[in-house]
Chain A
Amino acid sequence: MGVLEGRVACVTGGTRGIGRAIAEAFVREGANVVINGRSEEKGAQALAEMGAGAAATFIAGDVKQREACESLVDATVARYGRIDILVANAGGGTGHAPVADLTDEAMQDALVWNFWHTFWTMRRSLHHMIPQGSGRIMAVSSVEGKVGKPGISIYVVAKHAINGLVKSAAKEVGALGITVNALCPGAIETDVMKAEGPAAAAAMGLTYQGLLDLFASEAAIKRLNEVEDVANVAVLLASDAGGGITGSMISIDGGTSPY
């Protein structure tokens, strides 16, 4: 018996990387999971690799669109009858630059992609979870939600904003059987990292490898984190045993953040 038997989860950005690892861990623990992504092809590939049969469903959508976020949550309920767990995981940033050179568009895009998507999916999930009297909401934030590297302020800002939303929302629904937490991973070399890392590195005056080395050097473990690190904490938070943890910003960063 898994610790999430019969639970229903929705994971944005769930076809690869951290979201995929979380979705797979939830399935292993007996949950039904909706994974979201922009690409039907990647979605189909993810489902095939997961081999979870009816326990996993892919729903395409761009989390930068409010309607897509809301219909994703509603579709999860339609597919599996309820929603117990939301993981607002999708995110990233493009157009990195130091603040003096940053464009409005880059800042806005990062906020929509990371923060607004979290807000939209959280709000919709709460509409279902509050009458239900139970739920688990997790935002995949970042160590950058606690610290602040030069050159990537669009990402730092969005992740800090997510942390604030988590703290506030947690206090609102704490007595309603719903927990709201932020997972704050250190750097992980996911596909998103490989795609955006070079530009982020350039904005910081580094090579891509130099960026990875910098992240590793800032951790006590002197290496990057892995997607499973985040998935393991997500399972704990999602389970009954995690019902006493809320409003938290949990560092999964190999000893990088100072708090």
Chain B
Amino acid sequence: MGKLDGKVACITGGTRSIGRGMADAFLAEGASVVVNGRDEAKGQACLAEMAAGDRAAFYPGDSAKQATVEGLVDFTIERYGHLDICCLNSGGVVNTAPVAQMTDEEWALEIDWNLNHVFWGMRRALQHMIPRQSGRIIVTSSVEGKLGKPGLPGYSATKHAVNGLVKAAAQEVGTLGITVNAVLPGLVETDILRATGPDSAIAMGVGSYEALLDLFAQEAAIKRLNTVEEVAAVAVLLASDAARNMTGCLFPVDGGTMPY
């Protein structure tokens, strides 16, 4: 018996990295999972690797777009009959730029990708979950939701913002059998990081991508990065019945980086 037998989940940014880790972990616990991503080829490769038959599906689209996020929720409900677990996981850094140099377009995209995506998905999912009086919303936030590094003003602002949204929403639906939580990972080496890290390193003045990884590792008490599996294990807990009394929690998976 898995911890998530019969449960249905959807995950933005679910084909790779943290979202994929959550998807794999949920499947292993008996759930059905719809993963979303921008790249059709990656999506199909993901399904093939998961080899979960009817219990996995791919919904393509850019989670910085409202239609994609709402469409993911609607597609999941139509495909599997209901939605139990909504993981709003995708996101990232558009450009590592200091505030004084950040453009309107970069800022707007950060807001859409990291914050509005979470709102759109949360709202759509809650509209389904509230009449059912049952559900789990899990937001992938970040240590940057409590810290503030130079060069990451949009990422930090939006991760602080989703923390606030999680707390407020949790208070609203606390008696309706729905929990709303965030996981706050420290740095995890994801595809997004490999893609944007080199530029981030230069913009943050640390010279190289390897130096960037090392900087984050040194900030953690464990002196290493976190892993996809560590984040996924927390997501499984939060998604399960065992965590029915945990809500509004900003759950750290950061190797001792954040001060609170």
Contact = CB atoms under 8 A, between A and B. Distances in A.
Interface of A: 167, 170-171, 173-175, 179, 219-223, 225-226, 228-229, 232-233, 236, 239, 241-259
B99 interface: no
Interface in B171-188: 171, 173-175, 186
Given A243-B230, A254-B246, A174 B221 contact: yes
B233 A220 contact: no
Contacts of A226: 245
Max chain B CB contacts within 10 Å: which of A228, A233, A247? A247
B174 A255 contact: yes
Contact of B221 (A170, A222, A249): A170
B248 interface: yes
Nearest to B186: A244
Given A253-B249, A255-B174, 15 more contacts: A171-B221, A220-B248, A229-B245, A232-B237, A233-B246, A239-B233, A243-B222, A246-B221, A247-B221, A247-B258, A254-B174, A254-B246, A254-B248, A255-B249, A259-B250
B158 interface: no
B98 interface: no
A248 B222 contact: no
Interface in B229-254: 229-230, 233-234, 237, 242-243, 245-254
A207 to B, nearest CB: 23
A248 B245 contact: no
A162 to B, nearest CB: 14
B227 interface: yes
B260 A245 contact: no
29 contacts: A167-B256, A174-B223, A174-B255, A174-B256, A175-B222, A219-B174, A220-B173, A220-B174, A221-B174, A222-B175, A229-B242, A229-B243, A236-B233, A242-B233, A243-B222, A243-B230, A244-B253, A244-B254, A245-B234, A245-B254, A246-B222, A247-B257, A248-B252, A248-B256, A248-B258, A251-B246, A251-B250, A254-B248, A255-B170
Contacts of B243: 229, 232
Given A167-B259, A219-B174, A245 B230 contact: yes
Contact of A250 (B227, B245, B249, B256): B249
B230 A241 contact: yes
Sorting the interface of chain B by its residue count into under 10, 10 to 19, 20 to 34 or 35 or more gives 35 or more
B245 A252 contact: yes
Contacts of B256: 167, 170-171, 174, 179, 246-248
A259 B260 contact: yes
Contacts of A249: 260
Contacts of B171: 220, 255
Contact of A255 (B221, B242, B247): B247
Contacts of A179: 222, 256
A258 B222 CA distance: 26
Given A171-B221, A236-B237, A245 B245 contact: no
A241 B251 contact: no
Contacts of A254: 174, 245-248
A229 B241 CA distance: 10
Contacts of A221: 174-175, 245, 247
B254 to A, nearest CB: 8
Contacts of A170: 221, 256
A255 B248 contact: yes
A7 B255 CA distance: 22
B245 A225 contact: yes
A174 B246 contact: no
Nearest to A166: B256
Contacts of A229: 242-243, 245-246
B38 interface: no
B167 to A, nearest CB: 7
A247 B222 CA distance: 10
Contact of B242 (A219, A228, A250): A228
Contacts of B170: 220, 255
Nearest to A177: B222
Contacts of B253: 244-245
A225 B258 CA distance: 26
B242 A232 contact: yes
Contacts of B221: 170-171, 173-175, 246-247
